[in-house]
Amino acid sequence: MKFIKTIITAIAAITFFAACNKVDDLTVYANGNAPALTASATTLAPLPADSSNILVTFNWTNAKYATDSSNIKYILQIDSVGRNFQKAASKEIMGALTTQFTAKEMNDILLNFGFAFNVAYDVEARIISSYGNNNERLYSNVIALNVTPYKIPPRVELPFTGHLYIIGGATDFGWNQANPMPAVRELTQLDETTFAGIYHLSGSSAYLLLPEAGSWNNKYSVQDNSIPGAANAGSFGYNLPQDFPGGVAQGDNWYKMIFDFQQGRYTVTKEDNPLGGDLYITGDATPSSWTNAPPTTQKFTQLTNGVFEIVMAFVPGKLYKFLNTNGQWQPQFGGDNAAGGDLGANYGGGGDPAAIPTPAVAGNYKVTVNFITKKYTVVAQ
């Protein structure tokens, strides 16, 4: 009996001490509130002179998480409309409820999106709030902005002559420094800061770009041509120590070469169809009508690599096409728009392109064919 009383006493003691040491319930923090975002301006079109000035200020309300406000993380995102912030530029802010962008900072974001200078674009901005460990992310309203990037100087100095020529053992021309340079060796200027050409490369040796025919004094080249992949893409500059490398991945082939002076970058990609040496016009819109052997009076003048031009007298209701080789129907080129457009082609074995209709008004017209952009234009003279 004494033993039973002892057990009962022990159980009561355990129960008493357990009651005295009960652990409190875990604290449950309330959810935060999605921040509300505002901007000091929604139309942003700065000038280059504004680059160091504050362009826009973003403000937002406190997300009010159950923590010290200095530990709340905010991420401001900016992206092009329609991308759902999948490629957004982001800026992280801890604790503060505001951030600013200079004109240069915003301009850099826009140019990294691939936006053109002096063209207005629609972008969106939003704020994402969270605890410092990224838990409980809340999204603000989305603000629409209309932005216009301003022009900045190109990273690589443009050719002082306005011309750019290729030379080198990797090309079909070798290291021969001709003066004047044949038109086929002059790269075509696609816009103010981009030059391009279509060339056969041997897949070995090297090449340079020269701004001046007959002179080795200046060149465009690379810092280090041993970098893996440098034959296909990389950075270039003015009077750097090493030649552009040959050895393109696809070997002995035709390549489209693009040199972007704005970004200081070049790309070399395989071109499926070679660039023909000549170009002729044929069709009932021409004096010789439809023939695969047009006279020399219907031969285009080559202006630069891939660009050909001729002036023709056209009357309405006629058709014409272009041929690369006198005496052969292919390669053959055409289109379906009297004013110009996409250049259709048959390099052999496929269907022929449409014949181009002459303009509705009789007169002299300059016809320009660009094999780099694969476009043609027809302009009254």
pTM: 0.76
Same domain, 313 and 243: no
Domain end marker among 210, 236, 270: 270
Whole-angstrom Cα distance, residue 144 to residue 39? 10
Same domain, 264 and 286: no
CATH, residue 61: 2.60.40.10
Same domain, 257 and 287: no
Same domain, 47 and 143: yes
Residue 201 phi/psi, 5-degree rounding, is -120, 140
- 């025919």: which residue's tokens? 213
Per-residue pLDDT of the chain (381 residues; tens, 9 = 90+): 444 444 445 444 444 444 445 444 444 455 789 999 999 999 999 999 999 999 999 999 999 998 888 999 999 999 999 999 999 999 999 999 999 999 999 999 999 998 999 999 999 999 999 998 999 999 999 999 999 999 999 999 999 999 999 999 999 999 999 999 999 999 999 999 999 999 999 878 899 999 999 999 999 999 999 999 999 999 999 999 999 998 887 889 999 999 999 999 999 999 999 999 999 999 999 999 999 999 999 999 999 999 999 999 999 999 999 999 999 999 999 999 999 999 999 999 889 999 999 999 999 999 999 999 999 999 999
Biggest CA-to-CA distance, the chain: 133
Same domain, 260 and 308: no
What does DSSP say about strands 253-260 and 37-39: parallel, antiparallel, or unpaired? unpaired
* pLDDT for res 349: 83
Q: Residue 8: helix, strand or coil by DSSP? A: helix
In a domain, 6, yes or no: no
Same domain, 238 and 301: no
Whole-angstrom Cα distance, residue 271 to residue 172? 16
Whole-angstrom Cα distance, residue 205 to residue 244? 9
Same domain, 354 and 307: yes
Same domain, 135 and 41: yes
CATH, residue 197: 2.60.40.3620
In a domain, 96, yes or no: yes
141 strand-pairing partners = none
Domain end marker among 91, 113, 147: 147
In a domain, 10, yes or no: no
CA distances for 199 relative to 176, 253, 254, 301, angstroms: 16, 8, 6, 19
Number of neighbours of residue 315 by Cβ within 10 angstroms: 12
In a domain, 156, yes or no: no
Q: Which domain holds residue 217?
A: 165-270
Same domain, 119 and 182: no
Count of domains observed in the chain: 3
Same domain, 53 and 132: yes
Structure tokens at 170: 């990797």
Structure tokens at 13: 């003691």
* pLDDT for res 3: 43
Domain end marker among 239, 270, 301: 270
Same domain, 44 and 140: yes
Same domain, 258 and 305: no
* pLDDT for res 4: 44
In a domain, 17, yes or no: no
In a domain, 3, yes or no: no
